[in-house]
Structure 1
Amino acid sequence: MSGYYGGSQSRYRRNPVPSGDGAAVGCGCLVAMCLSPLLLWLLIPAASVMVVYATGHCLYEYLKRLASVMGVGRWAAAAPVPPPPDRPAGRNEPAYVHYLFGPALVDLRHAARVALPAPWQVGRRYDHLIRRTFQGRDPAGLMVPLGIVSWLSMAVGIGSGFLVVTMLCLIQLTIVGLMAFAVIAAGLVLRAADSGMRVVKGVRTSCPSCHQHVHYPSYDCSASSCGRRHRDIRPGRFGVVKRRCACGTLLPTLLIMGSGDGRMRAFCPHCGEPMSAGAGAVPEIVIPVLGAATTGKTRLMTALVMGLVEGPGGHGATTRFADEQSANAYRGLADKLRAGVHTWKTIKAKDAPLRAYSLRVAPPSGSPRLLHIFDAPGELVGRSELLRELRYIKVARTFLFTLDLLSVDAVWASLPPEEQARQEQLRSDVPTDFVFGQLVQNIEGLGVATTRARLIVALTKDDLVCHSPVLAGVGHGSEDIRRWLEGPAGLDGVVRTMRRHFGEIRFFRTSSWLHDGLIDHSVLDLSGWILAKEGLRVHNSA
């Protein structure tokens, strides 16, 4: 034993440790084993922090770029949206497309190009930073492992960030899709509700110029300095409740929101002519005034309109002109009526359709109506091909037929020769039975169910022949007039034809001349009967 600790036994020492030369080599392993848990305890949280930070950085970059795509923030770079055209072209209107029907898709595509690559670009920056920090640095034994751990942590964070961004993008796409679907559904529901309201209110719109059925009018922008025309303003890709014109003005898209209240001018989509104020929003009444030439149609119509607008013909209803064209045409005729001179004949231009006299009638209670009175030229009666051009007849449910009392042979024969000479130019020379037969044939040829329609027979020029002995004892009641026509007047065949074809008939003796500036009571009774039969709550006694 003594040899092991000294002397010759010293050669058995395998690991001599000179005094003061440090610890033995085996102690390094022990130190490494002790420090490894500490290093792992530090690296794992550090790596986790790097993963979370890289993920958050990816999300931040994505949201920042998304904000710029949406035009928000200092780095706003929204995708350009083409301005709307000044005139309708194809499917385009002079209005901004609703965000969910176009710009949203543009923004999504722009976001996919600009914002979605954010994690990849963040990863490239981190890769460059890690390589510059740890590659080729001393001590290599420490820096290389730290670099590898940092790079792997960054890769995991970028990968998770890409997943988060992708999920967020898919959520955005889903939300936009659901919102677009909801807006489309809302637009369809509002369209259906708008159409349903029109059906319930009995609104059927026709152009007073071309007489075509108008499903929905076109409208000009309500801004006085704009004038852009919107072809179809109903809920759709340009707006659901409101749409924005190219000039920036908000326009209502629904009748219930005010598109038909008269603030915007309505135009016919077929001929482009202006329509009456309120067209498409209120029910319309179409009254064709039919008869042979020189039967007094224009004068009777003028007296009828005068009674409605200026006199008591509205029977409590307030009446005003629905468009400037009607007001201008009426002024010239009304001046002649007041002056006691004859009105001019209605002449239809070769290629121009006959325009109606349009009035807005608001009864004391109930909804207003648009009243269109058409004065058809008498020359059309004998020509079926021209009479069929009067397409407004198809929507009429009340027809006004003028029968000239001077054309009744019994009345004419009862007049003295000097009276006949004075009234010769005022007498219609077309037989009544021929005129009415042509009218019925063409009205039914246009598809009108006359058995469900009303016929007003106005015996005109009563003021000229009221003292005729043939009319002695004939009252102003409808039945009295009918019996006289079937008897002394000799028009029993015409009356039978009327009763066979029309569901309801009313006879009036009318005078269109003013008496001391006042309209004859017969015309007032006629207007009151028309309004009452068309469903207006007026104070009518006819």
Structure 2
Amino acid sequence: MTDPELIARILGGLTGVVGVAVCLGYGLWRFLALALSAAWAAFRTEPPGGNDPRITPYTGPEPARPAYWSGQMWLDARFAGQAAALTVRYLLTRHWLGLVVRRRLLQGRNGQTGELAANGFGRLLLRLLAPGTALAALLSALLASVLLAGVALFFAVELALVALAALAAVLAGRAAERLWKLALGIRMKCPYPGCYRPFPLAVHLCPGCGAAHRELRPGAFGALRHVCRCGKALPSTLMTGRRGLAARCPHCDRNLPPAVGTTRVVHLPLIGGTSAGKTMLLAAMLDGLRSWSHESGLTVEYASPDDLREANTLGQSLNRTGWALKTQGGQPRALMLLVGHGRRRRLLYLYDPMGESFRDADTTRGQGYLAHADGVLLVTDVLAAPVVRRALHAGDTERAEAARPADLGPVETYAGFTGELQGLGGRRGRLPVATVVTKRDALDRLDSLPRPAEPVEAWLAEIGLDELVRALGHDFAAARYWVVSARAATGAGALDSERRRAAEPVLWLLSRTGLRVGGLVRDRPDAQARRDTRARRDTEGAQDVRDVQDAQVGHGEERSNTP
């Protein structure tokens, strides 16, 4: 072996030994430490709390910040990988090969300090170490890249698991809320005229800045909470407290009662002709529910301040004049009550439309709330029926006119809305109907007709309205009948028995939805009905005097939030 070959072998072996030693003893760990530090720095906001150019501001319609796991987490992971790769590249090309090897060792300078060696032997020795150092840099970069790739793969798997866990939490939160609503029969509908539209999720307002959040549910903005742009954390599910936020209808942007979305809604329209006594009956029902709440486990409260004001206005009008003002306007706003018994509650929507709303198919079709009806309160003024009017004698005719009969008879009113009810909702055959014969105080004074008595459907058939009874029994899933004097159930000196009877149709319809109030609705025997009739006759004269006195004084009974 010639001397040059031996020298080459010796130098090659020395280079390999130096390269491996420097790589394992220092270079590899230096590469890993700096690369991991750079990757970790990519997850920090610079400056803390300030605007980081790596964070892309969300400019969508929802005033919330997207959840970290839904997007920014992957961007940070990409930035971390890029930072680690750029660090390895910089250390290899710029620092080790460019600075340490080329500018220092090959120039006879110290690799760390850059100082020139004091003599020629020192400079020669440093130049001999340059190839080994370059080899160490290459080996360190290669091994560090392999190890960093393994770390990146492991980290990517962890991020995927985090994203899957968050997605599972989102799906579980939505499914739990959905199943809870299905189990309780909660379907949200707007109570306002011109809307009446269903919606899966209300618009919730941030209590900090008032921003409207349309997607406040588990999703890309958070599984358990959303963070508003103002920094306020908002609960994203009913279970975590979303029910405490103010809500609006997503279609008409009007305020909704707090119970919407947490309580099953029961829609009950009052159907009857003009002057049939719908508004008077509505007032009597409110007073009757209040009376029942004092004597039983029934709880009743108004769903919003607007409902309280509306009920107070109605009560004051009745106390002043003894009559309710004629319903004005187009479509009605639902009067909303929270009715509960035991642990169950219902959000009751009571609709009191104008009698003119059911004159023909077109106007009836415009009553969109009928599509959501859970039952029907059919307000029946038998004094408007032609067959009844023909049976009246001369004196009774004047008494009937004084009672302000409706413009349409009950058969005509029913025929005008029943077909459209089926067309709008498609489920008339599954609905119950509570038929309430009004103006019993006037009927009791008529000698031409038999006195109203139980069973009411038999009495209706006796006075010639058997066609109506047969139609109701055929078209609806269940039908019950009451005869009520709304005048005797409202105002000063109202009879508690008449108040409670006026509320029984509502309680019966609520019991059909699962609210356990059926025990409050009892069948009255004929003897009890006759006693109630005598008591009502004895108090009618005194009641009329008190009504006149109340009208002179102008005093109105103010309702509290609990009726």
Indicate the TM-score class for this superposition, using the shorter chain for normalisation: 0.7 to 0.9
Alignment partner for residue 497 of structure 1, among 471, 477, 482? 471
- Secondary structure of residue in 2 paired with 1:206: coil
- Secondary structure of residue in 1 paired with 2:64: coil
- Secondary structure of residue in 2 paired with 1:308: helix
1:296-445 alignment runs, 5 A limit: 296-309=277-290, 312=293, 315-349=296-330, 353-363=331-341, 365-409=342-386, 412=389, 414=392, 417=395, 420=398, 423-424=401-402, 426-445=404-423
Residues 315, 299 of structure 1: alpha-carbon distance in 2 compared, 3 angstrom cutoff: farther
What corresponds to 1:212 in structure 2?
A: 197
Q: Is there any run of 5+ residues in structure 2 with no aligned partner, and where?
A: 109-119, 523-563
- Write out per-residue CA displacement over residues 411-470 of structure 1, whole angstroms, 9 at most, x where no aligned residue: 655476487278447211313221111111111121432222111111111122223224
% same residue: 24
Cα shift at 1:204 = 1.4
Q: Does the CA-based 8 Å contact 1:455-1:506 persist in structure 2?
A: yes
Q: Does 1:534 align with 2:505?
A: no
Residues 83, 347 of structure 1: alpha-carbon distance in 2 compared, 3 angstrom cutoff: farther
Aligned length: 492
Amino acid corresponding to residue 66 of structure 2 in structure 1:
V
Structure richer in helix, relative to its length: 2
1:141-152 alignment runs, 5 A limit: 141-152=124-135
Distance 2:353 2:444 in 1: 26
Q: Does 1:467 align with 2:445?
A: yes
1:135-146 alignment runs, 5 A limit: 135-137=106-108, 138-139=120-121, 141-146=124-129
Residues 362, 249 of structure 1: alpha-carbon distance in 2 compared, 3 angstrom cutoff: farther
Amino acid corresponding to residue 132 of structure 1 in structure 2:
R
Amino acid corresponding to residue 36 of structure 2 in structure 1:
L
Q: Does the CA-based 8 Å contact 1:62-1:115 persist in structure 2?
A: yes
Amino acid corresponding to residue 493 of structure 2 in structure 1:
D
Cα shift at 1:496 = 1.5
1:129-278 alignment runs, 5 A limit: 129-137=100-108, 138-139=120-121, 141-209=124-192, 210-221=195-206, 223=207, 225-259=208-242, 261=243, 263-278=244-259
Amino acid corresponding to residue 198 of structure 2 in structure 1:
H
Q: Does the CA-based 8 Å contact 1:69-1:78 persist in structure 2?
A: no
- Write out per-residue CA displacement over residues 312-339 of structure 1, whole angstroms, 9 at most, x where no aligned residue: 4894221111123322222211111233
Q: What RMSD in Å do the two structures reach over aligned CA positions?
A: 3.0
Alignment partner for residue 57 of structure 1, among 16, 27, 30? 30
Cα shift at 1:149 = 0.8
TM-score (norm 2): 0.80
Alignment partner for residue 117 of structure 1, among 82, 86, 89? 86
Distance 1:280 1:306 in 2: 27
Residues 334, 383 of structure 1: alpha-carbon distance in 2 compared, 3 angstrom cutoff: same
Cα shift at 1:56 = 1.9
Amino acid corresponding to residue 130 of structure 1 in structure 2:
V
- Secondary structure of residue in 1 paired with 2:482: strand
Distance 1:348 1:463 in 2: 29
Residues 340, 526 of structure 1: alpha-carbon distance in 2 compared, 3 angstrom cutoff: farther
Q: Does the CA-based 8 Å contact 1:68-1:78 persist in structure 2?
A: no
- Secondary structure of residue in 2 paired with 1:307: helix
Residues 416, 57 of structure 1: alpha-carbon distance in 2 compared, 3 angstrom cutoff: farther
Q: Does the CA-based 8 Å contact 2:277-2:438 persist in structure 1?
A: yes
TM-score (norm 1): 0.83
Cα shift at 1:493 = 1.4
Distance 1:305 1:58 in 2: 80
Amino acid corresponding to residue 119 of structure 1 in structure 2:
V
- Secondary structure of residue in 2 paired with 1:161: helix
- Secondary structure of residue in 2 paired with 1:318: strand
Distance 1:376 1:52 in 2: 89
Residues 501, 253 of structure 1: alpha-carbon distance in 2 compared, 3 angstrom cutoff: same
1:102-113 alignment runs, 5 A limit: 102-113=71-82
What corresponds to 2:542 in structure 1?
A: none
Distance 1:75 1:160 in 2: 34
Amino acid corresponding to residue 44 of structure 2 in structure 1:
G
Distance 2:86 2:139 in 1: 16
Q: Is there any run of 5+ residues in structure 1 with no aligned partner, and where?
A: 1-28
Distance 1:314 1:168 in 2: 72
- Secondary structure of residue in 1 paired with 2:255: coil
- Secondary structure of residue in 2 paired with 1:370: strand
- Secondary structure of residue in 1 paired with 2:509: helix
Amino acid corresponding to residue 61 of structure 1 in structure 2:
L
Amino acid corresponding to residue 107 of structure 2 in structure 1:
G
Residues 380, 444 of structure 1: alpha-carbon distance in 2 compared, 3 angstrom cutoff: same
Cα shift at 1:368 = 1.4
